[in-house]
Amino acid sequence: MSKLVSARASAADPASSLRGNFELRRFSALTPRVLVVGASTGGPQALAALLPRIGPRLKEIPVVVVLHMPTNFTDVVTGQIGGLTGLPTTAAINGEELRAGRIYFAPGDTHLKIVRVGPYYALAHFDGPQENFCKPAVDVLFRSAADAYGPGVLGVVLTGMGSDGLEGARRIVHAGGSVIVQDEASSAVWGMPGAVARAGLAAAIAPVSQLADSIAFRLGGSQKSEAP
């Protein structure tokens, strides 16, 4: 298990300042190979503030998002995020290869997994039962990302009600990856990110703007994750 450290451990990291009396885990030393994001209440606004700020760095990594939303809302959100980032942004197609520089959303009412197929990674729909009263569920995506990418995962838990993402965040951390969460002050509801923070699984707790800067910082780091 990762060593717990205070928020002052990395002054160079834009999200190293701690919000609240929580201990933080040390970030993985590896440059992330996939960015997985979970959000619910207030999520569209948080995503619109987060992803465009990361800028060109998003071209270096695939981004997979679970947002608790109805099926007919998926096109609205993907269109908005695609317009703001300038990157291809779509609802994930079952079986499609995961590619850097693209943003994939879980379709409404369908769980989404990342699976490894030989040297490639693909997205798979999963018609299982609800988890945490949710479908799609952040936990399903996060667990699959940890199993597929190991320490190359960077998970982000944004504003949302409930605790979806907690067990998936635990799987990411145990696999050697990192999880960062939105702080309470900037969240519409501090349920999902708060659950991860209280469990001691977060490497950073900060407003969306600082989380975005931290992600960009980590993608621009000198250390690279090793090929599987």
Q: What is the CATH number of the domain that holds 122?
A: 3.40.50.180
What the block records as the tokens of 4 is 């717990």
Residues recognised as catalytic: 40, 68, 164
Place of tokens 């679970």: 66
* Structural domain contains residue 71: yes
Q: Are 108 and 73 in contact (CB under 8 A)?
A: yes
Per-residue pLDDT reduced to its tens digit, 120-140? 999 999 999 999 999 999 999
Quick one: pLDDT band at residue 227, thresholds 50, 70, 90? very low
* Structural domain contains residue 8: no
Pairing of strands 153-157, 34-39: parallel
pLDDT of residue 226: 38
* Structural domain contains residue 106: yes
Q: Are 89 and 78 in contact (CB under 8 A)?
A: yes
Quick one: pLDDT band at residue 22, thresholds 50, 70, 90? confident
* Structural domain contains residue 10: no
C-alpha–C-alpha distance, residues 69 and 72, integer Å? 8
* Structural domain contains residue 1: no
pLDDT of residue 60: 94
Per-residue pLDDT reduced to its tens digit, 58-111? 999 999 999 998 888 888 999 999 999 999 999 999 999 999 999 999 999 999
* Structural domain contains residue 54: yes
What count of Cα atoms within 13 Å lies in the side-chain half-sphere of residue 154? 26
* Structural domain contains residue 56: yes
Total count of domains within the chain: 1
* Structural domain contains residue 18: no
Q: Specify burial of residue 189 (Cβ count, 10 A radius: 0-12, 13-18, 19+).
A: middle
Domain containing residue 75: 34-212
